[in-house]
Amino acid sequence: MTTTRDLLISELSKIPTLNNRYTNVNCINYPPPPGEEKRGNFSLVFKAIDNTTGERVAIKFMDPDGTSDVYRIDCFKREPKIIKQLNGKKRCLQLIEELQKFNLEIITASGSKFPMPFEFFSTDWIEDDIDDYFLAKEDLSPIEKLKLFRLIVLAIEAIHNNYIFHRDLKPDNIRSDNKQGTLCAYVIDFGTAAQFDSKKILPGYSAQVGASLYSAPEAFLGFAGERGIAKITDFYALGCILYELFNKQLYFDVLINKNTNFLNTLSVLALELSRETSIENKLSAWETTLEKLKNTVKPPDYLEVGCSLPGSISDLITGLFENLIIFDFNKRLTDFDKIRRIVDTAILVLQNDKLAKKRNDQKRLFKENKIKNIKEKEDKLSSYQTKKGKLLC
């Protein structure tokens, strides 16, 4: 059965020019590759050429299959406004065009025609998926992984510095390019993002707004919309990403499978918070309850079997990880400078390890060559003495 989504994608791929500006309009997130889910649950993303600049752009439409969700519609309308605040800012996605309308001609069973309007906006195109690095992480050196993580930290810091938090950080929503000759990471998909001073779309949030795999505990318990708290979930997501760079499994899977206390603690907190109505009382109940349960919720062991983290930096990185994914958001590490310093120190340690190994290899080679030369001289001397002995006989 042909859906409105299919009709929209088909029509956009056929039209010569969209909005008298965009050509070569092709959907990149639907249909998804075999065995994978569609990226961007509530949107359709297209790649196109902007005829005014000759540059590639990303065009985002609200997915017709999600138009029954009023919250998501409001998020979609807010998204370009948020991205616009980042224009001209370093390491930030740039808005090309604000909300525009495209009328899709619908033909009914009786043959009558009527236009169905769809809104869209465009941003600059960021070439590479960070996902590719995670899929090929077995081929990356520890230094390359940490440098990638550092770029991700800088990208998130850039939007936080502009009073925007994302709430749906995951490898899918980070891309990279090297347009300026240096690799740079960018956060994309601001559908669940908010500004620190923006009004809440919903009066209350019963669940997280982003992917559950990277959402912090508080996001599951009604705090996803609280501006002073929701920003901290971005740091929790950073911890999950850091875990997955050096481990084969998803952090969330390990957390659920090897730490039953996590879900139990969520259940206890949900019950305690449900008894309160004001945000102040909920926060007080959160602190009081977690004080009693502080020894029950511990993060999974970073150094799982198969972890590729080098021993020389294990204390640095496991310590960083544990401070990023602390269950209690009040105690979570939220200092970008400190995060970068720890990562930089770990990179320096690995570089020193590499240099020390090179020096040791050179010393070993020098010693081996020296022994080889001595042996060759001894062999020559022995051969000469043998020949001399034969002549004397």
| 21, 52 contact by CB (below 8 A) | yes
Cis peptide bond upstream of 32, omega within 30: no
CB atoms within 10 A of CB 300: 21
Predicted local confidence at residue 268, as pLDDT: 93
* Structure tokens belonging to residue 137: 């992480």
* pTM, rounded to two decimals: 0.87
> What's the CA dihedral at 131, 136, 142, 146 to 10 degrees?
-10
d(CA 6, CA 11): 9
CATH dotted code for 1-125: 3.30.200.20
Sign of CA dihedral 184, 189, 194, 195: positive
Provide the pLDDT for residue 362: 65
Q: Which amino acid is at 145?
A: K
Nearest to 157 by CA among 242, 240, 271, 238: 238
Q: What is the pLDDT along the chain (393 residues), one digit of tens a residue?
A: 678 899 999 999 999 999 999 999 999 998 877 777 777 778 999 999 999 999 999 999 999 887 777 888 899 999 999 999 999 999 999 999 999 999 988 776 777 778 889 999 999 999 888 877 777 777 889 999 999 999 999 999 999 999 999 999 999 999 999 877 789 999 999 999 998 887 878 767 777 888 889 999 999 998 988 888 888 999 999 999 999 999 988 999 988 887 778 888 999 999 999 999 999 999 999 999 999 987 787 888 899 878 999 999 999 999 999 999 999 999 999 999 999 999 999 999 999 987 766 666 666 666 767 777 777 776 776 776 666 666 555
Query: What letter does residue 377 receive in the DSSP assignment?
Result: H
Residue whose entry in the numeric block shows the structure tokens 């020949």:
387
Q: What is the pLDDT of residue 375?
A: 76
Tokens of 230: 């929701």
Q: How far apart are CA 269 and CA 250, in angstroms?
A: 24
From CA 189, how far away is CA 80, in angstroms rounded?
Answer: 10
Least Cα distance to 96 among 58, 126, 43 occurs for 58
Cβ contact 18:102 at 8 Å = yes
Residue that has been written with the tokens 């004397």 in this structure: 392
- Map residue 75 onto helix, strand or coil: helix
Contact by Cβ (8 Å): 121, 80: yes
User: Using alpha carbons only, how large is the chain's radius of gyration in Å?
Assistant: 28
The reply to whether CATH 1.10.3720.10 applies to domain 127-259+298-381 is no
The one-letter amino acid code at 383 reads S
Report the Cα 83 to chain-centroid distance in Å. 18
Residue with tokens 């969520």: 266
Under 8 Å between Cβ of 83 and 190? yes
Q: Which of 121, 119, 67, 117 is nearest to 93 (CA)?
A: 121
CA distance 192 to 79: 8
Q: Do domains 1-125 and 127-259+298-381 have the same CATH topology?
A: no
Please name which of 58, 101, 68, 80 lies closest in space to residue 164, comparing C-alpha atoms: 80
Q: Which residues contact 231 (CB under 8 A, 6 or more apart)?
A: 160, 165, 196, 334
Q: Provide the total of helices (H) and of strands (E) in the chain, helices listed first.
A: 11, 10
What residues does each domain of the chain span? 1-125, 127-259+298-381
**pLDDT score recorded for residue 322:** 95
